[in-house]
Structure 1
Amino acid sequence: MSVPGAMIRCMDLTRFFADVDAQPWADLHHAYGSAADIPDCLRALAGESEEAASEAISELYGSILHQGSVYGATARAVPYLARLAGAGYRTEDLLVLLGGIAEGGADEGDSEEAACRAAVVGQLPLILAKADAEDPGLRRAAAWAAAMTGAAEQVLPVLRLRRKTETDPGVRAELLGAMAHLDPPGTAADATAAIGAHEPAEVRIVALLACVDGGLPWGPAHHAAMLSLLPVNDLVEGRLDLERNEPLQYVVEELLRRDTDADRDAAYTLLDGALRSADSEARAEALWAAETACLLSRSAPERLAGAVEAMVADPADAPAAYSLLAKLGVRAAAAAPVLARLAAGEGDPADRALEALVAVAPDRAAPLLARDLGRRPRALGAACGFLFGGAAGASFTYDPELLDAIRTRLAEAGGPGADEVVRLVNLLGAWGSRASAALPELSAVLSLCPGAVPKALVAICPPEHRGTTAELLTAAARTGPEEGRLAAAAAVRELTGETGPLRAAVAARLTPGGPAVREAASLAAGLGPEAVALVPALRSALSDRAGDRNIPQMDADVEIAAALWRITGDPEEAVPVLAGVLAEVQPMWLRWTFGRAARAAARIGGAARPLVPALEGLLTEPMQIPSAVLALHAIAPETLDGPRTAGLLLDAAEQDADAETALDALVVLGPDSLTEDGRRRLIALAERDLRVRASGLEPGIAPADERLREQAREAARTPAKP
C-alpha cells in the first residue's frame, strides 16, 4: 500500500479507537465470557506486527465465532472489523471472518444470531466494493462473504456483473458458487453451461456442484464431466466453501438424499466408474464417497459389491479399501482371497488386512487371528464386536483354534495388558458355553479385569463348576478391587440365586456423591422387596436438591427413586425425586436424564399422576417424546390423543430421535392410534433406501439401522385405524 494511504489510516485510528473504547465490551459476552479483550484484538489488527495481527485473527475466531457460533459481542464487533477491512488492515482475513459471522447468523427473529447476520448485511456496501479489487484473493473473499449474508437482492446483481468480466479461474469458481448459494434454481442454467471443457477445471467442478444444488437431474453430461475431472479435491482446495470441499462425496450424498431410483442409479453408476479409475487419487476419493454412501443408504453394500474386485485388483492398492470393505461385510467376499494373503504377512499391514477380513469372511479370519493373536490388536478389536458397534462378540464366529489361542494368551506370563484382556474376556463371554474350557484362565484374570470378568464367567461356566466359581466371585465381591465388587456380587446372584453378597456390595457403594451410586441403586431395584434393608442407605445417597446438581447426580437420583419404588411399593418418596429432576432447566444435554426419569415414572404407573404436567412438557422435544409418551400411557392414558401422539412418535422416529423407543411406543399405543397415513409412514421407515439411523459411532450405524427396520416392519403389521 502507498505511503499516503498509510498516513490516512493512521490519522483515522485515533478516532476509530476512541469509538471502540466507548463500547461496553465488558458487559458483552463471547465464547469465553466477558468480551473486554476485543479492543486489544482490534488494536493488534491495526498494528505493525504481522504476528500479533495473526494471533488476533485466531483469537477472534475462537471467541466471537467459536466453531460457527456467534454471540452478543459478535454483532457489536462487526462494524469495527468492517472498517478495519475497508482501511486495508488484514482485509482478506477480515472479509472471511465477516462471511463466517454471517454464515453463523440467522435471517429472522430477535436472537443474537439474527443480530449478527443483520450487522454483516449492514456492511454489504463495503464488502461488495471489494468484488472489484485488484487482488484475486480479495475478490474471492468478497464474493463468498457477501453470499453468506443471504441478501440475494443486494448481492446477486453485483456478482453476476462481475462474473461477466472475471478471468481468474478461482474467482470465477467462487462467484458461481456464491450465486448458487443465494439462488440455486436460478443459477442452474449458468451452471449447466459451465460444465463443458471450455471452462477451467476449477469452474467446472463448482458448476457440477451447483447443478446438484439446483435440483437438476444428474445426466450423462454431468457423469462424464465428473469422471473426466477426477481427482477433484485439489480443484476446490482454495475455496472458502468448506461444506463442498470433497466434491465427489458431496455429489453422491446429495443424489442419495433425493431418495429416488433415478438418482440412486446415477450415484452408484458414478461411484462404480470412479472406483474403477486408473488414477489412484481418484480411487481414493471414490472410496471415501462410497463409505459415506454405506452410512447413508441401505442398498449401498449391494450396489457397491460389483466394484470390489476392482478395488483389490492390485494388492498394493488394497489397504486403501480396507475401511470400505469392512462396511460392505460379507458382500465383499470377492476380496477375501486377497485379504487373506495380506493378513498372512507380518506387522501392522497384516493386522489391518485381517481387521477387514473379520468383517468380510469371519470363517477365514478366525484361524489367522489364532496364529498370531498377540500381534493382531486391530483384528482382535474387530472380532470382539468393536467393528460392529458393540453388537457383541457373538457377531464373530466361534473357532476352536482361536479359543485355544485365547487361553494360551491369557495364561502367558507378562502377557496381555488390561485393554487386551477386556477384549479377550468379552469374546469368551459372547461365545458362552462353547468357551467353558477357558474357565481356569478366565478365573485367573479376575483381579486384572474385575469389571468384565464376572459377567463372562457366568456366561461360560458349566453347571458342575458353578459352586467353585461362585466362591471365587463371592470373595471378589468382599475383598476384590472396589470397582469390580458390584459386578462380582451380581454374578454370584445370577449363578446361585444368593443375594447376600449383592446386598452387602450395594450398601457399601451407596455413599452420597460416590462414583457407583447409580449402578448400586439399579442393582438394588433389581432385588425388589428383598432389599428393604437398603432403603435408609438409598435415601442418604440422594443428592441435595437445594444445591446445584450435575448430570451424574441427577441420573443417580432417578435410579434411587426407581429403587425406592421397586423395593417399598410406596410412591411417596419416589415421585417427588422424579419431579425434582423433571423440574430442572432443560438444556440439550439433559435429554437422556429426562428420558430415564420418564421411564422410571412409567414403571410407577398411576401413582405418578402428579408428574403428568412435567411429562406433557417433554412432548415438545423430539428426543424426549418417546419416553414421555410411554410414561403418560402408563400413568394417565386418557391424556393422549392416539393419532396425534402416533404422529409425534413417527416424527421422532423419522428424525432418529430415540427411534427405537418411538417404535416401541407406537406398538404400546395400539391399533386405534395408527391411521393409514401413519402406517404408510411406518412402511416407509422400514423400506426406504435412506437409513433411519444415521448418527453415532460409524461401526454401529448399519446394525442399529437394520434393527430399526425390523422394529418398523413389526409395528407396521399392527392393523391400522380406517
Structure 2
Amino acid sequence: MDLALALDGLDAHPWAATTHAYGSAEDLPDVLRALAGDDEEAADEAVSELYGSVLHQGTVYAAGAEVAPFLARVAAAGHKSADLLRLLGDLAGSDDECGVEPGAVREAVAAQLPLMTASLTDADPAVRQAAVWALAQTRAVGTVLPELLDRWDAEREPLVRAELLGAVARLEPAAGAALAKTVLGPEQPARLRLAAVFAHLDAGEAWDAALHRAMLSSLPASPLGGEQLDLDRAEPLCAVVEALLRRGTDAETAAAGDLLDTALRDERAEVRAEAVWAADRACRLSRSAPERLLPALLPLVTADDAPGVLSLLANLGPIAAEAAPGLAELAEAGDDDVLADRALGVLALVAPDRAAPLLARGLGRRPRGLDAAAGFRAPQDVPFPFHHELLTAVRARLTEDDLSGNEPVQLARLLRQWGGRAAAALPELHGLLPRFPLPAAPALAAIAAESAPDERRRAARVLRESAPDAPLPVAQAHFELTGETDVLLARLAKELSEASGDVAGAARAAGRLGAAGEGAAGALRGALSGADARRITPVLDADVALADALWRITGDARTVVPVLDSVFARAAGEPWFRWSAIRAARVAASLGPAGRPLVPRLEALLEDLERVPAAVLALVAVADGESLDRRSLAGLLLTAAEREANASEACDALEALGPRALTDDHLRRLNDLAERDLRVIGSGLEDRIVHADERLRVRVRAVAATLRPTP
C-alpha cells in the first residue's frame, strides 16, 4: 500500500455525520493527515488523540468504524504500523460501545483483515506482534485462526510466539491449550512459558504441578507482562491468582494460596514485590486469603519490603492484628519519618490500642497516623480508643497556630468520640470554635452533654451566641446539647431562604426536629424546586430531603407524595439519577400506606438492580401486602446482592419480606453469600473492601438465621 493513497477519500467522507467522545468527528481528517505526515512528533500526538476520541478510556464510538479503513491503509503502508495495528485491535476488542450498533466497529476492523494479515510477515517483530493482536480481536475465528496457526509454525521470535499463543487461546481455547503443552517446559523462554500458563487457564484446564512450576519459574513476571498487548495481564502473577480464585473451587483457591506463599518467601526482592501486589488482590477477592497468606507476609514488615506490604495490611485492618509488633517497631523508628508515619497509619487500623500512645508522641508529625485514627481512612463504625496521653497531646495540638487542612476535623472527631472522657479538652474546643466552627461545635456539644452542669451551660451559651453568623452545624450542635429549637429554627429559615444556602443539609437538620420543627415547615415548602428548576442531581436530592423533612414534621402526605412522584419522574431512565431515586424510595418507605400512590413508580425501579433493595423496602411498607409477589421480589434481592448491587440494603429488604418469601433455593443462595470464599463486595475504595465484605458477611448470616425455618 502506497502511503500517498492511504488517505484517498478522506475529504469526501461524511465525518460530520458521525461522532466520537468529544462530539462531532469533523476534526478527524486533520488528525489522520497528521498521522500520515512526515512529522513524527505530530504523528505520535495523532495516535494519542485517536485513543482519546474514538476509543476514549476503553469506550468505542461510532467514528471508530469510520477511521478503521484509513488506519489499516496507513499501517499497511508501513507508517506507524505497530501503533495503528494495536489501535485497530483495541477498537475491535472493546465491548463498551457508545452511539454505535453493537459490533459495528469490530465488523469495520474485520473488513480490513486482508490488509492486516499481510503484516504477520513484516520484518519488524513489533509489527508482527501488533498484527497478531489486531487479528485476534476481530473474533473472526474462521478467517483468522488458520492464519495464526500457520504463522505459529514459522514464527521464531519468542515475544511474537507468546502473542500468537495467547491469540489462538482467545479464539479457540482447546487449540491454545494443545499448543501450550508443547512450550511449557523449562527449556522454553520465560515469556512463552507464561503464555502457556494463560492458555491453559483460558481453556479451563485444571491447575497442576507443571503449571505451578512454570508460573514460579517465570518470576519476576512483571517485565514480561509489560511486553504483552493484553493490559488485563500486565501483572501476570496477579492475573493468574485472580483467575484461579474466580473459579471458586477449593483446589484452585488452595493453588492460588500455594503460589503466593512460595513467591512471598522468594529471596529476590522484585519477586516478593510482585507477590505482595498479587496477595493484596487475592485478599480483596478471597475471604480465606488473609489467613492463608499472613504467615508469609509478616516477615516482610521490614523497611526493605514495607512499601507494598503496608498498603496490603491497611486493607486488611484488624484481620492483620498479628502484624502489630512489626508495625510498632517501624512506627517508632526515628531514621525515616515517612516510613514511620505510614507504619503508624497501618497500626492504627490493625491494632488501634497499640497505636494510640505512638500517635500521642508523634501528633503533628504523623498525618497518616492521624488520618487512620480519625480521618477519611478511619473506620466509620468503631471509635478510636481513648488514651490519656493522646488526650493530652490533642489538647496541646489544638492550641498551636499551624492547624490547617483536615487536622482540626480529625482532632475534633477524636474528642467527640470520647465524649465525657475528653472533658478536660473543653477549654481548647472553646478556643477552636471561632477558627474552625464546623468540627468544633459538634465535639463541644457531645462532650459538654456528658460533663458538669456548669460546663453544659457555658457550652450552650457560647453555641447560642455563635450560631447566627456561623455555619449550620453550630446551631445543630446547640439543639443537640439543649433540646431548644429557637436557635436552630432561626438558622434554618436563613439557610432555606438564601440562594447560596445548603437546602438539602437544612432539610435534613429540620427533619431531625420532628414535630418540633413545625416552625420551619413554611420555609421547607418554599424551598421546593419549581417547574423551571434544572434537572440535576443536587436539585433532585434537595427535593427528596425536603419531602422527608416535611413528612417527619407535618405528616402531610398530600404535599410529600407529589414531590416524591416528581423526583421519580425526573429520575426515570437516567442512570446518573440512580441514587436520587434510591433516596426517594427510602423516604417513600417511611410514609407507610400513605405512600401507596407511589407504587407504580416503585415497581418501575425494579428494572435496575441497584434500585431493587430500596424499592422492595418501600413496596413492603406502602403497598397492599396481598399484591406483592414476595418470592419474585426475594429472587430479585438475592440477584442484587450476588452482583454487589446495594447488598446490605438487600439484606434489610429480605428481612422485611419475611421467611415465607424464601424458597429452599433462595435460602441456599443466601447461605452461599455468607459462606462462599469469593467476596461479595469487590469494588469501591480499596482500603474499605475487606472490611465492608466482612461486615456484610456478618449481616447475611444474621438474616439467614432469622429467615431459616425452625425445625
Both structures adopt the same fold (TM-score exceeding 0.5): yes
- Alpha-carbon distance, 1:544 to partner: 2.9
- Alpha-carbon distance, 1:88 to partner: 2.6
Cα separation, 1, equivalents of 2:99 and 2:530: 37
Alpha carbons 1:180, 1:210 under 8 Å: kept: yes
CA displacement 1:9-40 (0-9 Å, x = unmatched): 33x36xx44x2222221232111111100111
Alpha carbons 2:315, 2:688 under 8 Å: kept: no
Counterpart pick for 1:610 among 585, 592, 597? 597
Q: 2:562 aligned with 1:576, yes or no?
A: yes
For residues 216-295 of structure 1, the aligned pairs below 5 Å read 216-295=205-284
2:527 match = 541
1:671 match = 659
Cα separation, 1, equivalents of 2:484 and 2:315: 44
Alpha carbons 2:315, 2:689 under 8 Å: kept: no
Alpha carbons 2:374, 2:410 under 8 Å: kept: yes
Q: Secondary structure at the match of 1:269?
A: helix
CA displacement 1:91-131 (0-9 Å, x = unmatched): 22111111111112479x99434211111121122222211
For residues 62-73 of structure 1, the aligned pairs below 5 Å read 62-73=52-63
Counterpart pick for 2:395 among 395, 407, 412? 407
2:161 match = 172
1:190 match = 179
Q: 2:360 aligned with 1:370, yes or no?
A: yes
Q: 2:93 aligned with 1:103, yes or no?
A: yes
Q: 1:184 to 1:427 in 2, by over 3 A?
A: farther
- Alpha-carbon distance, 1:598 to partner: 0.9
For residues 553-702 of structure 1, the aligned pairs below 5 Å read 553-584=539-570, 585-636=572-623, 637-702=625-690
2:136 match = 147
Alpha carbons 1:70, 1:112 under 8 Å: kept: no
- Alpha-carbon distance, 1:621 to partner: 0.6
Q: Number of matched residues?
A: 703
Amino acid in the other structure paired with 1:152: V
2:81 match = 91
Cα separation, 2, equivalents of 1:436 and 1:298: 41
Q: Secondary structure at the match of 1:558?
A: helix
Counterpart pick for 1:117 among 96, 106, 110? 106
For residues 178-577 of structure 1, the aligned pairs below 5 Å read 178-312=167-301, 315-346=303-334, 347-384=337-374, 386-388=376-378, 390-392=379-381, 394=383, 396-412=384-400, 414-461=401-448, 462-464=450-452, 465-480=455-470, 484=471, 486-511=472-497, 514-577=500-563
Cα separation, 1, equivalents of 2:367 and 2:39: 50
Amino acid in the other structure paired with 1:479: D
Cα separation, 2, equivalents of 1:243 and 1:719: 41
Q: Secondary structure at the match of 2:290?
A: helix
Q: 1:456 to 1:184 in 2, by over 3 A?
A: farther
Alpha carbons 2:62, 2:99 under 8 Å: kept: no
Cα separation, 1, equivalents of 2:445 and 2:512: 18
Alpha carbons 2:316, 2:690 under 8 Å: kept: no
Cα separation, 2, equivalents of 1:640 and 1:120: 49
CA displacement 1:381-439 (0-9 Å, x = unmatched): 11225434x42561x32211111111111123x14224111111112222223222222
Q: Percent identity?
A: 51
Q: 1:719 to 1:48 in 2, by over 3 A?
A: closer
Alpha carbons 2:61, 2:99 under 8 Å: kept: no
- Alpha-carbon distance, 1:305 to partner: 1.6
Q: 1:113 to 1:85 in 2, by over 3 A?
A: farther
Alpha carbons 1:386, 1:699 under 8 Å: kept: no
CA displacement 1:647-692 (0-9 Å, x = unmatched): 0000111111111111100000111101111111111111111111
Amino acid in the other structure paired with 1:555: D
1:158 match = 147
CA RMSD between the two structures: 2.1
CA displacement 1:259-318 (0-9 Å, x = unmatched): 221111111111111110000000000011111112111122211121134323x54333
Cα separation, 2, equivalents of 1:691 and 1:448: 44
Amino acid in the other structure paired with 2:535: R
- Alpha-carbon distance, 1:528 to partner: 2.6
Q: Secondary structure at the match of 2:55?
A: coil
Cα separation, 1, equivalents of 2:27 and 2:305: 52
Q: Secondary structure at the match of 1:549?
A: coil
- Alpha-carbon distance, 1:319 to partner: 4.1
Cα separation, 2, equivalents of 1:73 and 1:665: 44
- Alpha-carbon distance, 1:151 to partner: 1.8
Alpha carbons 1:256, 1:264 under 8 Å: kept: yes
Alpha carbons 1:673, 1:721 under 8 Å: kept: no
Q: 1:326 to 1:433 in 2, by over 3 A?
A: same
Alpha carbons 1:64, 1:73 under 8 Å: kept: yes
Q: 1:184 to 1:428 in 2, by over 3 A?
A: farther
Cα separation, 1, equivalents of 2:117 and 2:395: 71
Alpha carbons 1:512, 1:540 under 8 Å: kept: no
Alpha carbons 1:418, 1:448 under 8 Å: kept: no
Amino acid in the other structure paired with 1:506: L
CA displacement 1:694-716 (0-9 Å, x = unmatched): 11112221222122112211211
Alpha carbons 2:133, 2:167 under 8 Å: kept: yes
Q: 1:364 to 1:548 in 2, by over 3 A?
A: closer
- TM-score, normalization by structure 1: 0.93
Alpha carbons 2:612, 2:640 under 8 Å: kept: yes
2:10 match = 20
Gaps of 5+ in 1: none
Q: Secondary structure at the match of 1:452?
A: helix
Q: 1:666 to 1:302 in 2, by over 3 A?
A: same
Cα separation, 1, equivalents of 2:260 and 2:432: 48
CA displacement 1:555-576 (0-9 Å, x = unmatched): 0011112222222222222222
Cα separation, 2, equivalents of 1:513 and 1:619: 36
Cα separation, 2, equivalents of 1:106 and 1:545: 36
- Alpha-carbon distance, 1:595 to partner: 0.1
Alpha carbons 1:385, 1:391 under 8 Å: kept: no
